Every structure is written in C-alpha cells, then in structure tokens.
C-alpha cells in the first residue's frame, strides 16, 4: 500500500510539473513571438533562430501551436508590407506616366521648333527646297 501511495504521489507530482512546464513554455513562446514582431530586421534574424531552437524542444502539438501562433501574429505585418509595396508600385507607375507625358511634350515642342526653323529657312532662302539627302553625310577633303 505504501508503494502504491508513493507511485501515485510521484505520478501526480510529475503531471503537475509537466503542466507547470507547459505554462512556462507558452509564456516563453508568447514572449518570443512578441519580441520577434517588435524587433528590427537585424534583431529579428537572431530572435527567429532562438525561436527555432525553442521549437525543437517542444512536442509536435506544442510546436504546431507555436508555429500557428507566430504565423497568425505575423499576418498583419505581411498585409502592411504588401500595402506598402503596392503603394510604392503605384507611385512608380505614376512617375513613369509623368515621364512619358514630359517626353511626349518635349517631342511635340521639338517638332514644332523644327517646323518653324524650316519655315524660316524657306523664307530666307527664297523658297528654294532644301536637299535633305546630303544632310548628315561627311564631305571629305579628298
């Protein structure tokens, strides 16, 4: 009978120790996840590595719960990063449209100036047509 009481007492002590260890593990996992979320990118690398070490000591169920908790807490940050990326892409697209409009405007102004110069040349030259086939060719001295 004493042996039975001793076995039951040790079993209860073991169970209560495991229950307390799980509570400590949950708090530690929560603290680690909070630290990961609030860390700078440089610090986050080290904290995630520490978290991985902690995961390796957990049971399969605890590991799955901790990973799910980390993923759930990181999703809002992922949405924020996606939103920032989308905003950045929209800004770049607007910038490109503005550049295209400026280029088109400069091309139009250049064409107008070229037409104006052609009219002036025609007026000064007495209306004689300009031979454009020789423009841009090099007339060597040989």
Structure confidence by residue, pLDDT tens digits, 35-73: 888 889 898 899 889 889 888 888 899 889 888 888 888
pLDDT reported for residue 30: 85
Q: What is the pLDDT of residue 19?
A: 54
Distance from C-alpha of 49 to C-alpha of 41, rounded to nearest angstrom? 13
pLDDT of residue 24: 44
Q: What is the pLDDT of residue 126?
A: 55
> Residue 17 has what pLDDT?
60
pLDDT of 23: 46
d(CA 76, CA 97) in angstroms, rounded, equals 32
Over the stretch 4-24, which tens digit does the pLDDT of each residue have?
776 767 666 666 665 555 444
Residue 80's pLDDT is: 62
pLDDT at 81: 64
- pLDDT reading at 77 higher than 70: no
pTM, rounded to two decimals: 0.37
């Amino acid at each position: 009978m004493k042996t039975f009481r001793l076995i039951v007492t040790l079993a209860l002590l073991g169970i209560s120790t495991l229950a307390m260890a799980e509570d400590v593990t949950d708090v530690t996992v929560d603290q680690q996840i909070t630290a990961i979320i609030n860390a700078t990118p440089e610090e986050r690398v080290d904290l995630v590595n520490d978290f991985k070490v902690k995961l390796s000591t957990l049971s399969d169920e605890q590991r799955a719960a901790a990973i799910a908790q980390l993923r759930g807490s990181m999703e809002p940050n992922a949405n924020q990063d996606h939103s920032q990326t989308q905003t950045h892409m929209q800004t770049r697209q607007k910038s490109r449209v503005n550049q295209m409009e400026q280029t088109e405007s400069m091309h139009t102004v250049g064409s107008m100036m070229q037409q104006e110069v052609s009219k002036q040349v025609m007026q000064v030259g007495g209306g004689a047509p300009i031979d454009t086939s020789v423009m841009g060719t090099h007339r060597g001295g040989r």
